[in-house]
Structure 1
């Protein structure tokens, strides 16, 4: 393949990775809306759409392998392909976490913790992913550090939310005549909420991973890779 054609293929890969990120973020937003509105229809939309994301991941994985085998990539191209492969892996996992939100929606009986703004945490991690992908698109090293620096804020928000839930559980007085079903329902709601917070925190971690791979792609700097 001529060098010009190879560069065009690299450009197509980048566009496809960006498209995958848009699709994944759309599913994540839908999952958050389903959870907030207790909307089973939206929940199923996210769950049933996971197959599309998985197939896109496999297609892009194949594209990365083909680009590596077509000709001997120079160092910069090699880092780009490797970073793109790692990034689609993170995006696929974010898609799985969005699917979890859909499943939590179907399991939820009621909103026991209205004082915790799950949507705000979700919005914050979505912005992190958007900025990480923007850095990948623009090859912006400085922006990767900005994304990574926000991870501590997300961790703090998630820790506060989890503390509220645990404190509420400790302070909840279970009536002596409460049956096993009532106690199990309470524990299921607590578990679901804590899993929701954990999953959103993981989305933030994946955003940092994307930023780290982008930084390595642009400057061969592994500072943000862990």
Structure 2
């Protein structure tokens, strides 16, 4: 294969990875929207369209394998292909977390803990994913470190949100006069909210993974990989 053609395929790979990230971010945004508006139709849209992300992932996985097989890549190209493969794996997992959020929307039937701003946390995670993909596109190593630093703040916010939920649960009066169905509903609501916080924190972790792979791709620096 001519080197120019091979280089074009590498550029196409990057473009396709960026397109997949746009689809995934859209799914995450829709999942949060469905949660905020208690919109079952939007939640089902996220769930039913997950197969599109899976198909994109499999197509890009095959592209990565083909690129490795078509021509012995030089070190920089090899890192690009390997990092792109790792990044699409993180994107696919973010899409799975968006499906989780949509499913929580279908299960929820009442508001709880308005002091826990899920939408604000979700907006932060979306921005982190978008910024990590911008860093991948621009090969911006400073942005990679910035995303890793911002994840510490996200982790702290998620920890404080979880503590708020648990503290309120402990302070909720439950005694022998409480209906069993009410207690069960309360525990399900608490569990669902804690899972929501956990899944959003994981989205942030995947954004850091993308930044880490980008840093390795550009600088052959594995400092952020964990």
Aligned residues: 226
Displacement after TM superposition at 1:111 (Å): 1.1
Give the alignment of 1:92-107 within 5 angstroms.
92-107=92-107
Give the alignment of 1:1-226 within 5 angstroms.
1-226=1-226
Per-residue CA deviations over 1:55-88 (Å, capped at 9, x if unaligned) read: 1100000000000000100000000000000000
Displacement after TM superposition at 1:181 (Å): 1.3
State the alpha-carbon separation in 2 of the partners of residues 152 and 141 from structure 1: 18
State the alpha-carbon separation in 2 of the partners of residues 4 and 88 from structure 1: 25
Displacement after TM superposition at 1:182 (Å): 1.1
Unaligned runs of 5+ in 1: none
State the alpha-carbon separation in 2 of the partners of residues 180 and 94 from structure 1: 36
- Secondary structure at the residue paired with 1:125? helix
State the alpha-carbon separation in 2 of the partners of residues 57 and 181 from structure 1: 42
Displacement after TM superposition at 1:175 (Å): 4.5
State the alpha-carbon separation in 1 of the partners of residues 51 and 180 from structure 2: 37
Per-residue CA deviations over 1:76-123 (Å, capped at 9, x if unaligned) read: 000000000000000000000000000000000111111111000001
Unaligned runs of 5+ in 2: none
Root-mean-square deviation (Å): 0.7
- Structure 1 residue ranges, 4+ long, deviating more than 4 angstroms after superposition: none
Give the TM-score normalised by structure 2.
Answer: 0.99
